[in-house]
Amino acid sequence: MNQDQLKQLVGQAAVAYVPAGQVLGVGTGSTVDCFIDALAADIAAGRLAIPGAVSSSERSTQRLQKAGIPVLDASAVERLAVYIDGADEIDHQGFMVKGGGAALTREKIVADLADRFVCIADASKLVQTLGKFPLPVEIIPMAAAQLTRRFAALGGSATLRAGVVTDNGGHILDVTGLSITDPLAFEAEVSQWPGVVTVGVFARHKAQVCLLGAADGVKTLTF
Protein backbone atom coordinates (compact mmCIF):
# COMPACT_ATOMS: atom_id res chain seq x y z
CA MET A 1 0.00 0.00 0.00
CA ASN A 2 1.11 3.55 -0.68
CA GLN A 3 1.17 6.29 1.95
CA ASP A 4 -2.30 7.60 1.07
CA GLN A 5 -3.78 4.13 1.46
CA LEU A 6 -2.07 3.72 4.84
CA LYS A 7 -3.56 7.04 5.98
CA GLN A 8 -7.02 5.85 4.95
CA LEU A 9 -6.46 2.59 6.83
CA VAL A 10 -5.57 4.25 10.14
CA GLY A 11 -8.26 6.89 9.65
CA GLN A 12 -10.87 4.15 9.43
CA ALA A 13 -9.38 2.29 12.41
CA ALA A 14 -9.54 5.41 14.57
CA VAL A 15 -13.33 5.57 14.36
CA ALA A 16 -13.46 2.64 16.80
CA TYR A 17 -11.94 4.95 19.44
CA VAL A 18 -14.75 7.51 19.17
CA PRO A 19 -17.12 7.20 22.14
CA ALA A 20 -20.79 7.33 21.12
CA GLY A 21 -22.75 10.27 22.46
CA GLN A 22 -19.71 12.32 23.43
CA VAL A 23 -17.98 15.35 21.95
CA LEU A 24 -14.79 14.47 20.11
CA GLY A 25 -11.50 16.36 19.75
CA VAL A 26 -10.25 16.45 16.15
CA GLY A 27 -6.76 17.35 14.96
CA THR A 28 -5.41 18.56 11.64
CA GLY A 29 -3.66 17.17 8.58
CA SER A 30 -4.02 14.76 5.70
CA THR A 31 -4.33 11.68 7.93
CA VAL A 32 -7.00 13.44 10.01
CA ASP A 33 -8.82 14.28 6.77
CA CYS A 34 -9.10 10.52 6.17
CA PHE A 35 -10.38 10.04 9.72
CA ILE A 36 -13.03 12.75 9.30
CA ASP A 37 -14.22 11.11 6.08
CA ALA A 38 -14.45 7.70 7.79
CA LEU A 39 -16.21 9.24 10.79
CA ALA A 40 -18.73 10.96 8.54
CA ALA A 41 -19.44 7.69 6.72
CA ASP A 42 -20.18 5.88 10.00
CA ILE A 43 -22.46 8.69 11.17
CA ALA A 44 -24.30 8.75 7.84
CA ALA A 45 -24.78 4.98 7.99
CA GLY A 46 -26.25 5.22 11.48
CA ARG A 47 -23.44 3.23 13.09
CA LEU A 48 -22.36 6.12 15.33
CA ALA A 49 -23.88 9.28 16.82
CA ILE A 50 -21.98 12.14 18.43
CA PRO A 51 -23.17 15.63 19.44
CA GLY A 52 -20.24 17.32 17.74
CA ALA A 53 -16.51 17.92 17.69
CA VAL A 54 -13.97 20.48 18.86
CA SER A 55 -11.63 21.26 15.98
CA SER A 56 -7.98 22.32 16.09
CA SER A 57 -7.94 24.28 12.82
CA GLU A 58 -10.01 26.13 10.27
CA ARG A 59 -9.14 23.39 7.78
CA SER A 60 -10.63 20.63 9.94
CA THR A 61 -13.59 22.82 10.89
CA GLN A 62 -14.53 23.23 7.24
CA ARG A 63 -14.22 19.50 6.55
CA LEU A 64 -16.29 18.58 9.62
CA GLN A 65 -19.01 21.07 8.77
CA LYS A 66 -19.11 19.92 5.16
CA ALA A 67 -19.70 16.40 6.50
CA GLY A 68 -22.57 17.69 8.63
CA ILE A 69 -20.75 17.27 11.95
CA PRO A 70 -21.38 20.21 14.35
CA VAL A 71 -18.23 22.03 15.45
CA LEU A 72 -18.19 23.35 19.02
CA ASP A 73 -15.97 26.04 20.44
CA ALA A 74 -13.34 24.81 22.88
CA SER A 75 -14.75 27.13 25.53
CA ALA A 76 -18.07 25.26 25.36
CA VAL A 77 -16.65 22.01 26.78
CA GLU A 78 -14.89 21.20 30.04
CA ARG A 79 -13.32 17.93 28.90
CA LEU A 80 -13.09 15.52 26.00
CA ALA A 81 -12.88 11.76 26.30
CA VAL A 82 -10.52 11.50 23.35
CA TYR A 83 -8.51 13.62 20.94
CA ILE A 84 -7.55 12.09 17.59
CA ASP A 85 -4.71 13.62 15.58
CA GLY A 86 -1.71 12.77 13.43
CA ALA A 87 1.98 13.39 14.01
CA ASP A 88 5.04 14.31 11.99
CA GLU A 89 7.12 12.08 14.27
CA ILE A 90 6.33 9.78 17.17
CA ASP A 91 8.84 7.87 19.29
CA HIS A 92 8.50 4.63 21.23
CA GLN A 93 7.34 6.47 24.38
CA GLY A 94 4.48 8.29 22.62
CA PHE A 95 6.26 11.66 22.49
CA MET A 96 5.60 13.50 19.23
CA VAL A 97 6.68 16.32 16.94
CA LYS A 98 3.68 18.09 15.42
CA GLY A 99 3.00 21.28 13.51
CA GLY A 100 3.80 20.49 9.89
CA GLY A 101 0.38 21.88 9.09
CA ALA A 102 0.98 25.00 11.25
CA ALA A 103 -1.87 24.16 13.65
CA LEU A 104 0.26 23.14 16.64
CA THR A 105 -1.03 25.76 19.09
CA ARG A 106 -4.68 24.89 18.68
CA GLU A 107 -3.80 21.20 18.56
CA LYS A 108 -2.13 21.49 21.96
CA ILE A 109 -5.10 23.42 23.36
CA VAL A 110 -7.59 20.75 22.28
CA ALA A 111 -5.28 17.94 23.40
CA ASP A 112 -5.17 19.56 26.85
CA LEU A 113 -8.95 19.10 27.14
CA ALA A 114 -8.78 15.38 26.38
CA ASP A 115 -8.41 12.41 28.71
CA ARG A 116 -6.79 10.37 25.93
CA PHE A 117 -4.69 11.19 22.85
CA VAL A 118 -4.96 8.72 19.98
CA CYS A 119 -2.29 9.33 17.35
CA ILE A 120 -2.89 8.13 13.79
CA ALA A 121 0.12 7.85 11.50
CA ASP A 122 1.83 5.74 8.89
CA ALA A 123 4.87 3.66 9.83
CA SER A 124 7.34 6.20 8.40
CA LYS A 125 6.53 8.53 11.32
CA LEU A 126 7.86 6.16 14.00
CA VAL A 127 11.39 7.17 15.09
CA GLN A 128 13.89 6.31 17.79
CA THR A 129 14.69 9.95 18.61
CA LEU A 130 12.70 13.07 17.75
CA GLY A 131 14.35 15.71 15.58
CA LYS A 132 14.75 14.36 12.06
CA PHE A 133 11.57 16.15 10.97
CA PRO A 134 12.06 19.95 11.11
CA LEU A 135 10.66 21.08 14.46
CA PRO A 136 7.83 23.62 14.02
CA VAL A 137 7.67 26.47 16.53
CA GLU A 138 4.91 29.06 16.43
CA ILE A 139 6.33 32.46 17.33
CA ILE A 140 5.53 36.15 17.71
CA PRO A 141 7.02 37.68 14.53
CA MET A 142 9.21 40.28 16.28
CA ALA A 143 11.08 37.50 18.13
CA ALA A 144 12.18 35.61 15.00
CA ALA A 145 15.81 36.77 14.97
CA GLN A 146 16.52 36.24 18.66
CA LEU A 147 14.81 32.82 18.67
CA THR A 148 16.87 31.82 15.63
CA ARG A 149 20.00 32.64 17.66
CA ARG A 150 18.76 30.65 20.66
CA PHE A 151 18.17 27.56 18.54
CA ALA A 152 21.59 28.00 16.96
CA ALA A 153 23.09 27.83 20.46
CA LEU A 154 21.47 24.38 20.78
CA GLY A 155 22.92 23.27 17.46
CA GLY A 156 19.76 23.89 15.46
CA SER A 157 19.16 25.88 12.31
CA ALA A 158 15.87 27.81 12.30
CA THR A 159 14.19 29.01 9.14
CA LEU A 160 11.06 31.12 8.90
CA ARG A 161 8.37 29.22 6.97
CA ALA A 162 7.77 31.52 4.02
CA GLY A 163 4.28 32.86 3.46
CA VAL A 164 2.73 31.03 6.42
CA VAL A 165 0.54 32.79 8.95
CA THR A 166 -1.20 30.56 11.49
CA ASP A 167 -4.89 30.67 12.39
CA ASN A 168 -3.72 32.71 15.42
CA GLY A 169 -1.74 35.25 13.37
CA GLY A 170 1.65 33.82 14.35
CA HIS A 171 4.62 32.79 12.22
CA ILE A 172 6.37 29.41 12.09
CA LEU A 173 10.05 28.65 12.56
CA ASP A 174 11.17 25.24 11.30
CA VAL A 175 14.25 24.02 13.17
CA THR A 176 16.58 21.37 11.76
CA GLY A 177 19.69 19.74 13.22
CA LEU A 178 18.23 18.86 16.62
CA SER A 179 18.27 15.54 18.44
CA ILE A 180 15.60 15.72 21.13
CA THR A 181 16.61 13.04 23.62
CA ASP A 182 14.61 14.44 26.55
CA PRO A 183 11.32 15.69 25.04
CA LEU A 184 9.76 16.72 28.37
CA ALA A 185 12.71 18.89 29.38
CA PHE A 186 13.08 20.33 25.89
CA GLU A 187 9.41 21.30 25.67
CA ALA A 188 9.48 22.89 29.12
CA GLU A 189 12.63 24.90 28.31
CA VAL A 190 11.68 26.22 24.87
CA SER A 191 8.12 27.03 25.97
CA GLN A 192 9.57 29.62 28.38
CA TRP A 193 11.52 31.54 25.75
CA PRO A 194 10.03 34.99 25.15
CA GLY A 195 8.32 35.10 21.78
CA VAL A 196 7.51 31.39 21.62
CA VAL A 197 3.77 30.75 21.36
CA THR A 198 4.02 26.96 21.13
CA VAL A 199 6.82 24.50 20.46
CA GLY A 200 5.89 21.49 18.34
CA VAL A 201 7.16 18.90 20.82
CA PHE A 202 4.16 17.14 22.35
CA ALA A 203 5.66 15.56 25.46
CA ARG A 204 3.36 16.76 28.22
CA HIS A 205 0.47 15.96 25.87
CA LYS A 206 1.86 12.71 24.51
CA ALA A 207 -0.10 9.93 22.86
CA GLN A 208 -1.54 7.10 24.93
CA VAL A 209 -2.31 5.08 21.78
CA CYS A 210 -0.81 5.15 18.29
CA LEU A 211 -2.54 3.49 15.35
CA LEU A 212 0.32 2.91 12.95
CA GLY A 213 -0.40 2.06 9.34
CA ALA A 214 2.01 -0.55 7.98
CA ALA A 215 2.11 -2.78 4.91
CA ASP A 216 0.66 -5.67 6.92
CA GLY A 217 -2.15 -3.59 8.45
CA VAL A 218 -2.74 -1.34 11.44
CA LYS A 219 -0.45 -1.84 14.42
CA THR A 220 -1.65 -0.58 17.81
CA LEU A 221 1.04 0.86 20.09
CA THR A 222 0.17 1.78 23.67
CA PHE A 223 2.24 3.98 25.95
91: confidence class by pLDDT, cuts 50, 70, 90: very high
State the average pLDDT over residues 153-182.
98
Instruction: Provide long-range contacts, Cβ within 8 A and 24+ apart, for 64-72.
Output: 64/26, 64/36, 67/36, 67/37, 67/39, 67/40, 67/43, 68/40, 68/43, 68/44, 69/36, 69/39, 69/40, 69/43, 72/23
Q: Report the pLDDT value the prediction gives residue 204, as an integer from 0 to 100.
A: 98
CA-CA distance, 9 to 149, in Å (whole number)?
A: 41
Whole-number pLDDT of residue 1: 80
- Which residues does residue 198 pair with via DSSP β-bridges, in sequence order? 138
Which amino acids are annotated as binding site for substrate, given as ranges? 28-31, 85-88, 98-101, 125
Strands (E), the chain: 24-26, 53-55, 71-72, 83-85, 89-90, 96-97, 117-122, 135-139, 157-160, 171-176, 196-199, 201-202, 209-214, 217-222
Q: Which amino acid does the sequence have at 118?
A: V
Q: What is the mean pLDDT of residues 164-187?
A: 98
Among 4-8, 30-34, 133-137, 139-143, whose mean pLDDT is lowest? 4-8
> What's the pLDDT at 220?
98
- Residue 129: which of 198, 167, 183 has the closest Cα? 183
Residue 191: the pLDDT is 98
* pTM beyond 0.85, yes or no: yes
Q: In the chain, what are the domains?
A: 3-127+204-222 (3.40.50.1360), 135-200 (3.30.70.260)
Active site residue 107: yes
Q: How confident is the model at residue 76 (pLDDT cuts 50, 70, 90)?
A: very high
pLDDT score for 200: 98
Candidates 58, 78, 89, 107; catalytic one: 107
Task: Characterize the bridge pairing of strands 171-176 and 157-160.
Answer: antiparallel
Separation in Å, CA 172 to CA 16, 157, 213: 34, 13, 28
Q: Whole-angstrom Cα distance, residue 172 to residue 166? A: 8
Using one digit for the tens of pLDDT, what is the confidence trace for 105-118? 999 999 999 999 99
- Indicate the residue type of 61: T
Average pLDDT over every residue of 139-154: 98
Annotated binding residues: 28-31, 85-88, 98-101, 125
Q: What is the mean pLDDT of residues 88-107?
A: 98
Model confidence at 3, pLDDT cuts 50, 70, 90, reads confident
